[in-house]
Chain A
C-alpha cells in the first residue's frame, strides 16, 4: 500500500519525452471528444423523451420561437443578403474567365443555394447567434443556482429549459433557413445583366436536392439547441464560467454544423449522385 503511494509521484515526476506528450495529448483530446459525444447523445435522448412524456408549460415554446426566430430575422436577412451578392459576383467573374456564357449561372446558383449554401451558411449564423444566446442564458441560470432551484422544485432542467428551445428551434430554424434561401436568391438577381427568365431556371433542381436541403435545415435546427444546451448546463464557476460556456457553445455548434454538412452532403451525393 505504501509502496504504491510512493511509486505514483515518482512516475509523475519523470520528465515526459516528446512522443509521450504527443500521445498523451492526443489521447486526452480523444477522451474529451468521446465524453462530450456521450453527453450530447444523452441530452438528445432525454430531450426526445421529454418531448413526448414531459410536462407542458403553456406559452414556453411560442416564447422561444419568438426569441430564436423573430429576433434573428434581421441578422439573418442582412447576412444572407450580402452572401447572395458576394457569391453571384464571384461566381460570375470566375465563369467569365472560362467561357463568356452565363445562361446556366442562375440554374447552377439556385441548385447550389437550395442544396447547400443557404442551409449551411444560414445555420452557421444561427449557431453563432442562437447557440451563444442559449448557452449564455442557461449558463447564467446555472451560475446563479437557478437550475439547482429548478431541480429542487422537481422540474428537470432538460424538460424545462432545453425541450422548449429544441422544439422552437426546429420549427424556426427551418423557417429562417427557407427565408434565407429566398433572400439570397433575391439579392443575387440582376447581376451581369442576366434576365429574370434566364436566372429563374429551375432545370437543375431535383426533388432530391430539395429534400436534402430541408433535411439539413431540420438537422441543424435540432443540433444547435442540444449542443448549446449541453454547453450551458455544464457551466461552472462565476462570470468567467459563463463566458467559457458561451465560447464553447459557439465553437461546438459551428463544428456540429460543418460536420453534419459533410455527412449529409456526402450521403446525399452517394445516394442520389
Chain B
C-alpha cells in the first residue's frame, strides 16, 4: 500500500525508525533541513519582521478605509453600535475612576518637593493641571482602555475568527465590517473620548485632595491655579484631541489583530499580547507627533 502510493519520505523514515531498535543517542535531523534552519540568520529574522509589520500596517489601512466607507454611507448596525458603546463604556467606569483619581494624586506628589522648595503653592494648580490635562491623563487612561477594551475586543474577534463565526456571518450575507468591526471601532473611539473628559475632571479632584492633604493647598487656591490664565483652553483641548487619535489607534489595531488570528486558543492569547503592545507603542509615537503639531 505504501509503495504503490506517492513517495513519502517522512512516513518511510518514521516506519524505518519504528522497526529498528530504539537508538540510544538522539537522531540527528537530515542535513537538508539543518541547513534550512541555519539559514535563518539575523537578516532573515529582520526581513520577516519588516514584512510582518508592513502587512499589519497595510491591513490596518485597508480596514480604516472600509470602516470609513461604511460610516460615511451609514451602513452600520445601530443596535450593535449602542450595545458595544454601552458595554465598553460602562464596564470601564471603575478603572477609569481609580486611574484618574490616582493619576491626579501622583502628579501632585511628584510636584510637591519642587513646590515646597520654591514656595510656589499658588502654581501647584497650574503644574498638576497641565500634566494631568494635557499629557498624563489622556495617556494613562488610553493605556487602561487599551488593556481593558482593546485587548477584550481582540479576544472577542479572535475567538469569533477561530470558531468560524465570521465565516458564518459571511455565509448569511451579513457584512462583518458593518456588523462587527465598524461598531467596535466607533465604540472604542467614543469610549476613550468620554473617559478622557471624565478623567480630566476626576484627576483635578484627585489633585486638589492630594494637594490639600500633603501641602495644605486649599481647593480654592488650587482652582485659582488651574484657571489663573497660564493654562489656556488649548491645553485642555489638545489632550482631548489626543484621546480621539489614541482611540483610533486602539480601535484599528485591536480589530486588525483580532481578525488576523490563527491557531486556536494560544493564537488568541498571542494576538491579544501583540495588539496591546502595538497600540501602546503606536500611542506614544503618535503622542510625540501630535504634541509637536499642536
Contact = CB atoms under 8 A, between A and B. Distances in A.
Interface of A: 29, 75, 78-79, 82-83, 85-87, 89-90, 94, 97-98, 108, 111-112, 115-117, 120, 124-125, 128-129, 132-133, 135-137, 139-140, 143-144, 238-247, 250-251, 253-255, 258-259, 261-262, 265-266, 269, 273
B287 A254 contact: no
Contact of A115 (B110, B272, B277, B284): B110
Contacts of B105: 262, 266
Contacts of A261: 102, 106
23 contacts: A29-B94, A86-B287, A86-B288, A129-B276, A132-B151, A132-B273, A136-B273, A140-B269, A239-B162, A239-B268, A240-B155, A246-B155, A246-B273, A247-B147, A247-B151, A250-B276, A251-B144, A251-B147, A258-B98, A258-B106, A258-B140, A262-B109, A266-B105
A128 B276 contact: yes
Contacts of A266: 105, 109, 214
Given A86-B291, A238-B265, A254-B144, A243 B151 contact: yes
A258 B102 contact: yes
Given A78-B285, A140-B269, A242-B266, A255 B95 contact: yes
Contacts of B214: 266, 269
Contact of B147 (A75, A90, A242, A250): A250
A132 B268 contact: no
Contact of A82 (B106, B265, B273, B284): B284
B180 interface: no
Interface string B147-161: 110011011101100
B48 to A, nearest CB: 15
B147 A254 contact: yes
Nearest to A265: B109
Given A258-B102, A259-B102, 7 more contacts: A29-B94, A89-B292, A128-B280, A243-B269, A246-B273, A247-B148, A261-B102
B284 A108 contact: no
B114 A108 contact: yes
B123 interface: yes
Contacts of A139: 265, 269
B292 to A, nearest CB: 7
B57 interface: no
Given A87-B135, A251-B95, A269-B214, A243 B272 contact: yes
A136 B230 contact: no
B174 interface: no
A23 B272 CA distance: 34
Contact of A128 (B98, B277, B285, B288): B277
A247 B258 CA distance: 13
A97 B162 CA distance: 54
Contacts of A135: 269
A115 B280 CA distance: 23
A79 B95 CA distance: 23
Contact of B288 (A85, A133, A250): A85
